[in-house]
Structure 1
Amino acid sequence: MMTAGFVYQGSRRMSTSRRKFIKQSCALAAVAAVPRSGNGWFERARRQRDKIRITNVERFVFYLPYHDFHAKALFRYHGPNIQARTVFKVSTNVGLVGWGESWGVSPFSDEDRRRYVGSSPFDWLAARKDLPMNMAAYDLMGKYLEIPAWKMIGPQVRTRIPVAAWTVSQEPEALQREVKHAASLGYRWIKYHIDEIQNVLDQTRAMQEVAPKGFRVHFDFNVNSTLSHVEPILREMEKFPVVGRIEDPIRISETEGWRHLTETCKSEILVHHGPAEFMNRGLCDGSMAGHAPIGSAIRVAALADSAGLPFMLQQCGGFINQAFLAHEASVFPQATLDHCNLALHWNDHVCRQPMPVVDGMVDVPQGPGLGIEVVEEKVRQAAQLPPPAYEPFLVKIMYTNGPTIVARHLPHREGHTDDLRIMKRLLGDTFPGPQPGYNNPVRSEMWDDLDDPLFQKVWKQTENQRYVVL
């Protein structure tokens, strides 16, 4: 797959010569990034920065619908916390409005309001906090100076950026539908967290059967396992061309295990929940910055530059969020991995025009600021709608020639959004069956037959106990 001047092949090991090629390519990209003319906007900003002031910050939380085919699966897996989006409208004394966005319900305290109101958007250049407010500040600065946001981050090295779809772990046939849907929208990659209640090899085999040629999957291994458990699984997975990248394969403390996988795996090994400095120590093939404020993203980009390795951004939200991500990734020379955003996850939007994915890429918006138009009326209307309601269901974990374990999953409760990934979170410290892992003979389904007397019996039993064995 050709991506911004780099060739990545998920089915072939990154050889020494390939690493050298990547480093040379990164160096050439850095040279190409040298500005060819003066930054006139910088002088204008220096003279005029104190003439624009933030006068108000409004916060809107809403829950736009998912696509029908996976709406129930996504909501049940992560609850309303993932479906929620928070949009910030930032007003100024000069009549300009900036927009920012995050996924989930982002807090905004009175202290936050005092910190921003009265300040200049230029006070927040390269800020290391509040990603959604970073977006609004860069939107305002760009509109004020009549330049695109990327100019205030650095010289642009690409006008299109590679992007990836995202989903949750499901039954193999459900992941087949996810792959086909993502491909139909123009994506060439899809990312998801594997979990201990499905078999990742069964999932991989199923996705391979339906994936278009060149389509790849990015597997997140949750940074919770060991080399001895994960390596045999990776060797089997890598027999399938659809396997492209492995994120957080083992615990961060097993640094030599990271080195071993990086040196021997065909797939690219990425670090997320660990030091980005792994790139400079030969412990990974690249890095991911998740929901990173602009200042933190700049730091990761600098580390990637010094290591000569690629990295990606993951900051989930709609088109406001994706527009800012595109401006960032258009500037960072090594930001060549497929960036993850949920913009096409929802079946409705609050922006005038979408950002379509074409051959795995989206264009960097060209207008001033973020370069997109937010329809304020749609934002306000969406914020008036109630959040989706939790409906009773049970998780049925079925082992071949072993127990069937049934439990409640309550992702809407604080601290329980990700319980399905790790069985101890869902079931407690002790439960029947084999040692939890990613290649057990297991398949799990959501059970919601409210008219079934057995369902009602188990539902009542799980009021006071973590699980029931059928």
Structure 2
Amino acid sequence: MTEDFGDLTVGATRSREIVRIETFAVAPRWLFVRVETRDGAVGWGEASLEGHAEAVDGAFASLRDRFIGADAERIEDVWQIAYRGGFYRGGAVLMSALSGLDQALWDLKGRRFGVPVWQLLGGRVRDRVPVYAWIGGDRPNDVVEAAQARLAQGFKAVKMNATEEIGWLDGAHAFDAALERVAAVRALDMDVALDFHGRVHKPMAKQLAAALEPHRPLFIEEPLLSENIEGLIQLSRLTTLPIALGERLYSRWEYKPFFESGAVDVIQPDLSHAGGLSECRRIATMAEAYDVAVAPHCPLGPIALGACMQLALTTPNFVIQEMSLGIHYNVGHDLLSYMRNPEVFDVKDGMVEALAGAGLGVEINEELVREVAAQPHNWRNPIWRGADGSFREW
């Protein structure tokens, strides 16, 4: 009896061996990951790192060397080996590659058991997920019309860039347009988040935060780059506005000083940058211990959003989810383009119903993905310069 059980276990393990890890650079700027096991089971992930798809794709060479032949159900073991086993660890490129692989393994495991990933993570703590959408582009304009369109789509909250390019120290007029835009959208009875995008430096960020306080934005995002933690600590003591950041932090260790210093009120881990669903769940749990809210960053594709939804449904301190539907970066293909079940992301009363499908809940049109990836994108962010010719943060 014991020998038979052992043979069956070996057979089952062999059937779960990873035999193929594929990547697809698809428009507008995404990198999809497909993992297949010996028995034909498939899972999808998203390793999109905007502007650096080629570098992330290259990082998959070592992941294939290590994990072709590995048991796809040993997700945590794979994560630990991928993170720690290569000696050099962390950073945007390696963590984005690991993120895509991690998402795909969770998707595959959920599909194998026929349940949503949120069931494997302890079950739901909510039935619907509050969401927000983008209005205005890098140089925001016509935000009222865009906000009205979002209202018609079912959204109750939006986010826009706070400013265009801005100098280290500019005159007060630099804020006038931003304040007018916020006031106009708030007049529609919508919540508004402002993304400083790391393009505002401390001498201006303090002034802009103070000027925005009467408008009560939902949060101010990356008022300073996360590398300037001393400035963020100072700013957090000067403003009552919730400070959000985290899209450029890639592990729980990088988040730790922000929790300990009290410099952040809302964290925004990107599940395609910060170690996938496994690591972002750990980051969210750390945040809960510091009474910090979670609003995952996701101006990306449908697989990344599916992973975010699984996290949102199982995380007590989650507050709102970013959706890239119609975002200004989506040229040629949009959030729903590669999906066979786009209805799962329908927005009603500012929320999306809990995804009920197996795995990440997103059905990918593999034929279209392969067709589009035959001509991989080479998306790059713009480079901005000020009137004096000096570089400005995008």
What TM-score, normalized to structure 2?
0.73
Once the 2 structures are TM-superposed, how far is the Cα of residue 202 of structure 1 from its aligned partner?
A: 0.6
CA contact (8 A) 2:196 2:221 kept: yes
Inter-CA distance 280–353: structure 2 relative to 1 (3 Å threshold): same
Deviation at 1:307, TM superposition (A): 0.8
Q: 1:333 maps to what in 2? A: 316
Identify the residue that residue 286 of structure 1 maps to in structure 2.
266
**8 Å Cα contact 2:15-2:37 kept in structure 1:** no
Whole-angstrom CA distance in 2 between matches of 1:193 and 1:232: 16
Residues 163, 189 of structure 1: 8 Å contact kept? yes
Q: CA 1:312–1:48 in structure 2 vs 1: closer, same or farther (change >3 Å)?
A: farther
Provide the secondary structure at the position in 1 that maps to 2:243: strand
Supply the distance in 2 between the matched residues of 1:332 and 1:301 (Cα, whole angstroms): 7
The match for 2:351 among 348, 354, 361 is 361
Is the alpha carbon distance of 1:49 and 1:138 closer, same or farther for their aligned partners in structure 2, counting shifts above 3 Å?
farther
1:247 aligns with 2:221: yes
1:143 partnered with 2:111: yes
TM-score, normalised by the number of residues in structure 1: 0.63
Instruction: Quote the offset at 1:55 in angstroms.
Output: 1.3
Q: Which residue of 2 aligns with 1:351?
A: 339
Post-superposition shift, 1:252?
Answer: 5.2
C-alpha separation in 2, matches of 1:46 and 1:297: 32
Q: Distance in 1 between matches of 2:325 and 2:179?
A: 25
- Aligned letter for 2:36? S
Moved over 6 A (4+): none
Distance in structure 1 (CA, Å) of the matches to 2:228 and 2:365: 48
| Whole-angstrom CA distance in 2 between matches of 1:263 and 1:46 | 58
Following TM superposition, by how much is the alpha carbon of 1:329 offset from its aligned partner in structure 2, in angstroms? 1.6
Find out whether 1:107 has 2:71 as its counterpart.
no
Residue aligning to 2:91: none
Does 1:428 pair with 2:352? no
Mean alpha-carbon deviation: is it higher for 258-267 or for 83-92? 258-267
Contact 1:317 1:343 in 2 (8 A): no
Letter aligned with residue 221 of structure 1: F
Q: Shift in Å at residue 189 of structure 1? A: 2.7
Note the residue ranges of structure 1 that are not aligned, 5 or more in a row: 1-44, 64-82, 389-410, 430-435, 439-470
| Corresponding residue for residue 218 of structure 1 | 193
- Residue identity matched to 2:44: W
Pair 1:87-2:32 in alignment: yes
Distance change (3 Å), C-alpha of 1:212 and 1:194: closer
Q: How much does 1:246 deviate?
A: 0.9
Residue 178 (str. 1) matches residue 146 (str. 2): yes
> Helix, strand or coil for the counterpart of 1:206?
helix
Bigger radius of gyration:
1
Aligned mate of 1:268, from 235, 239, 242: 242
Partner of 1:98: 43
Deviation at 1:341, TM superposition (A): 3.6
Gaps of 5+ in 2: 1-8, 84-94, 167-173, 328-332
- Corresponding residue of 2:99: 131
Identity %: 22
Q: Deviations over 1:80-104 (max 9, x none)?
A: xxx3222222222112111112434
The separation in 2 between residues aligned to 1:185 and 1:366, in whole angstroms, is 22
Deviation string 1:12-44 (CA, Å, 9 cap, x unpaired) is xxxxxxxxxxxxxxxxxxxxxxxxxxxxxxxxx
Question: Residues 192 and 125 (structure 1 numbering): CA distance in 2 closer, same or farther, change over 3 Å?
Answer: farther
- 2:358 maps to a residue whose letter is P
Instruction: Output the aligned Cα RMSD.
Output: 3.4
Distance 1:150 1:370 in 2: 8
Asked whether 1:378 is paired with 2:388, we answer no
